[in-house]
Structure formats: C-alpha cells, structure tokens
C-alpha cells in the first residue's frame, strides 16, 4: 500500500480515518518552539507523572512559609531596634503565616490524619522531612512570640521565643526552594542552584509587605529597604535561573505560569517603588505598597508552581534536555537495519 502524500494536486492515496497512522513521531501538538530540537515521544504523553500537589494548598504553603520565616527575622530585628509596632506586626504575620502554611501542607495530604508520620523519621535526603522538623521547632516559637505579644503574658519568654524564631525562620523560608527543586520536574530541578535564593527573596518581599501594611510610617523604614533588596534579589535570581535553564525556562514565560510570574514581578516592583517614594509620608501609600508586595510575592510562588506543572505535562522539557546532555539531539537516530 502506498503511503499518503500531499501533492500540488491535493492529497494522494488518502487513508480512511480508521486507517490513519497513529502516534505521530513528533511529540506535542504545538508547533516547535525551538525548531532544531526535534524529539520523539510516546504519543505526546508526558514522561514523568504530574505532581498531585494542588493549588492553592502547596503554593500557599510555600508563600506563607516564606512570609512567616522572613517576618520572624524582621520581628526580632524590630524588637532589638525598639520598633514595637513593627515588631508586633511581624510577629503576628509570622504566626499567621505559619498557621496557613501548615494548613496548606496538611490539607494537601492524601491522608491528613497521618500528618504526624512526617515526624516518624528524620531524613536529610528528604527536604519535606527536614522541613517538617524545622516547622515543628519553629512553630511553637513563632506562636509563643505572637501569643506573648498579644496577651502581654511572659514578656521575657516571649522575647526569647521571638529571637529563637528569628534563628530558625530563614531556614523555614529557604528549604521550600530545595523541596521543589529536588524533583524530576524540569522547570523546578533545572533551577536548583538559584531556587533557594529566589524563594528567600520572595519571602523578604512578602514580609516587607506585611510590615508596610500594618506598621506606622514612623517605624516602616526597614520594611521599605527590605522591599527594595528583596525585589532586587528576586529579579536577579529569577533572571539568572531562567538564563541557565535554557529551553526549560519556557514555561516561566508562557500561559498561566508566565502571567503569574510577570504579575508577581510587576507588583513587587510597583510595591517597592511605591514604598520608597511615598511610604515614609503616607500611611495609605505604605499600606497599598505593602499589599502589592504581598500579592506580588504570592504570584511569584504560584508562578513557579504552575511553571513546574506545565513543564511536567510536556515531554519536550524532559526529553530534549536529556538528549542535549547526551549530545544526540535532533540526530536521525533510527535508521534502517543494515542489509545482510
């Protein structure tokens, strides 16, 4: 039987529908983004399984964990530098962030009632195990600091708890960057060098936003500076990460993930600029800037999450980088067996 051909006169030897050749050798339904990178796949099906982590649980867990960890550092520094209103706001943000972060983590479990199995072993090879232990140390400290702040009970113990939380807080903000990168998801793993820096920068942006939102202008100068440093770190870290990723950076620029990443960066820049320009004079401007920073940080974490899902769905991002590593991309590798 002669295979079908497209000629100037139209389709020659067309096949009836039920005889149509199955499983195109080119994977993916879209046109090639990078023309030279041809690749094979199994009927365009993904190589790796989709993460079952759900939105908003897991991106919320990342975002609120970052907000909490960075807020604890800010709370201790504010306490030490006698900025009581900023310290109070940061302690409350830390405790609230911790609670929402844990809620997201537990709610996402397939068996939430078995959450405590997380503390059954300690495994440094599992970022989630390390994170669970960090949270179980950090959580009581952050809650005690906020509780003492609100009730006025045990002020010295509360201060000690606030400083303890500030010691563990940075680790709480950064381990989630390792957690996402320690997977086979291309858009997460290929960013494993930069991801912790992007995560802590985004955490600093969120904590600065919370400080600006709830502290008076007389005390918000550190939050304004922190917003600027955090945004600069986030932009630089993301740019470096995407440049190193090559093809796998595509999901960070396309579709839902791309929109979230752009919104996150835009809001963070607007928030930091607003805080720097008007945050010292206008309480309203400071609050709005803080809100923009918090939403921007959340969008960044959501964007990273969605980019990972998108990269897991398309076999291109798994197959092509692995082929490039082996130096055989785009070659015609499946020749006829030699005669004889």
Partner 1 sequence: MTLTELLRTAGGDPATNAGYRDHPPRMGFFTDTSVCIGCKACEVACKEWNHVPEDGLELTGMSYDNTQGLGADTWRHVAFIEQRKQLGSQEPGVFHDGRNGSTAGGSSQLRWLMASDVCKHCTEAACLDVCPTGSLFRTEFGTVVVQEDICNGCGYCIPACPYGVIDQRKGDGRAWKCTLCYDRLSVGMEPACAQACPTDSIQFGVLDELRQRAAARVGQLRDAGVADARLYGHDPDDGVGGDGAFFLLLDEPEVYGLPPDPVVTTRDLPAMWRHAAIAAASLAAGVAATFLGRRP
Please pick, from the candidates 98, 173, 247, 287, the single residue that binds partner 1 as defined by CB under 8 A. Answer: 173
DSSP string, 159-210: HHHHHHHHHHHHHHHHHHHHHHHSSS-HHHHTTTTTHHHHHHHHHHHHHHHH
Cα–Cα distance between 186 and 191 in angstroms, integer? Answer: 8
171 binds partner 1 (CB under 8 A): yes
43 binds partner 1 (CB under 8 A): yes
**Do 167 and 72 contact (CB within 8 A), yes or no?**
no
User: What tokens does 252 get?
Assistant: 């960070």
199 binds partner 1 (CB under 8 A): yes
Q: Please choose, out of 5-13, 18-26, 28-36, 93-101, the segment that lies near partner 1 by the rule CB under 8 A.
A: 18-26
> By CB under 8 A, what part of segment 85-124 binds partner 1?
108-112, 114-115, 117-118, 120-121, 123-124
> By CB under 8 A, what part of segment 127-146 binds partner 1?
127-129, 132
| Total residues interacting with partner 1, rule: CB under 8 A | 103
218 binds partner 1 (CB under 8 A): yes
Cα–Cα distance list, 287 to 88, 224, 278, 294, 340 (Å): 16, 11, 10, 11, 79
81 binds partner 1 (CB under 8 A): yes
3-state secondary structure of 6: strand
Q: How far is the CB of 271 from partner 1 (least distance, A)?
A: 15
User: What tokens does 292 get?
Assistant: 């923009």
7 binds partner 1 (CB under 8 A): no
- Reported as type and span, the H/E element at residue 117 is none
49 binds partner 1 (CB under 8 A): yes
The DSSP 8-state label assigned to residue 13 in this structure reads S
322 binds partner 1 (CB under 8 A): yes
170 binds partner 1 (CB under 8 A): yes
Cα–Cα distance between 65 and 196 in angstroms, integer? Answer: 13
22 binds partner 1 (CB under 8 A): yes
35 binds partner 1 (CB under 8 A): no
């Amino acid at each position: 039987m002669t295979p079908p051909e497209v000629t100037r006169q139209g389709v020659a030897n067309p096949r009836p529908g039920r005889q149509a050749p199955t499983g195109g050798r080119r994977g993916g339904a879209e046109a090639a983004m990078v023309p030279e990178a041809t690749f094979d796949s199994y009927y365009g099906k993904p190589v790796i399984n989709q993460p079952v982590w759900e939105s908003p649980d897991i991106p919320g867990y990342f975002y609120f964990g970052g907000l909490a960890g960075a807020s604890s550092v800010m709370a201790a520094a504010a306490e030490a530098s006698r900025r009581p209103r900023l310290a109070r706001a940061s302690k409350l943000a830390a405790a609230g962030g911790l609670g929402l972060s844990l809620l997201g983590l537990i709610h996402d479990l397939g068996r939430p009632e078995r959450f405590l199995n997380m503390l059954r072993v300690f495994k440094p090879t599992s970022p989630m195990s390390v994170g669970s232990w960090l949270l179980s140390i950090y959580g009581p400290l952050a809650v005690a600091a906020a509780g003492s702040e609100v009730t006025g009970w045990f002020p010295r113990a509360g201060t000690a708890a606030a400083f303890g939380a500030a010691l563990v807080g940075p680790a709480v903000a950064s381990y989630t960057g390792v957690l996402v990168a320690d997977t086979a998801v291309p858009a997460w793993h290929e960013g494993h060098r930069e991801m912790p820096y992007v995560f802590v920068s985004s955490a600093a942006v969120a904590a600065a936003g919370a400080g600006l939102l709830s502290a008076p202008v007389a005390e918000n100068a550190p939050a304004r500076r922190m917003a600027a440093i955090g945004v600069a770190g986030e932009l630089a870290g993301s740019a470096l990460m995407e440049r190193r990723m090559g093809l796998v950076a595509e999901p960070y620029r396309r579709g839902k993930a791309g929109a979230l990443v752009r919104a996150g960066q835009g809001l963070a820049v607007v928030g930091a600029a607003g805080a720097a320009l008007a945050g010292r004079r206008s309480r309203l401007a400071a609050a709005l800037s803080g809100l923009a920073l918090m939403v921007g940080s959340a969008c960044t974490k959501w964007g990273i999450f969605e980019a990972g899902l998108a990269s897991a769905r398309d076999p291109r991002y798994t197959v092509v980088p692995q082929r490039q590593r082996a130096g055989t991309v785009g070659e015609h590798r499946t020749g006829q067996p030699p005669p004889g």
